[in-house]
Amino acid sequence: MKTSARQCGWCGGEGSTMICTKCRLVDYCGVECQTQDWKAGHKILCAKLPKAVKKAKEKVASFSLSDYTTRNVGTFMVTEAEARRGQILEERAAQDICYDAMDMTKGSTEKLIEILHALGTFPLSTEAWGMLGHFYQFEVDPKGSREKLCCAEALKMHDTAILCARKLNPTWSDDRSDELSCGEIE
């Protein structure tokens, strides 16, 4: 832990605080506040989130439709990709999980766990990647210079959502450039 003068992420106290050296997103008054926050759910953001994101990105990179369950849904009121490949049942399940997460408390550990559950269900879930980007950008409450770090992470998540959309909809990238970034941090 490094010391810094910011607001404690657990008790809200001002003054000389410690920074979580793993995620560098949260400050603490001391070890007691850090321990309480870890038990209350910081370990999800700090330890489980990076592992889950890495695992999901590996599955995105090696995506094969044959790894998932599809069913023919015809051509009426479906996307062009669904008409060609069929509906991916795991994708639908991940969407339902994301819809449930939308109703959860902003910035809560439970909401983050639910988003990670959606990614585990279907790693190419554009909804889950988009929600994870939103979580970083608007629901984690970083202070000072770490706000930029959170925005950078959010952009990575949104870019991954775009990559997933392209993999799920092969014709989608035909009329678009190879570079389609959600944005840049200045």
User: Does residue 178 carry a pLDDT above 90?
Assistant: no
In the prediction, which pLDDT does 182 show? Answer: 53
**Cα 128 to chain centroid, rounded:** 6
pLDDT digits (tens, 9 = 90+) for 89-125: 999 999 999 999 999 988 888 898 999 999 999 999 9
Predicted confidence (pLDDT) at residue 66 exceeds the cutoff of 70:
yes
The reported pTM is 0.77
Tokens of 185: 């941090």
**CA nearest to 36, candidates 3, 6, 9, 4:** 9
pLDDT at position 26 over 60: yes
Q: Is the pLDDT of residue 175 over 50?
A: no
Q: Which helix (H) or strand (E) holds 162?
A: helix 146-168
- Across the chain, which distance is largest between two alpha carbons, in Å? 62
The answer to whether 135 touches 91, Cβ cutoff 8 Å, is no
What pLDDT sits at residue 2?
45
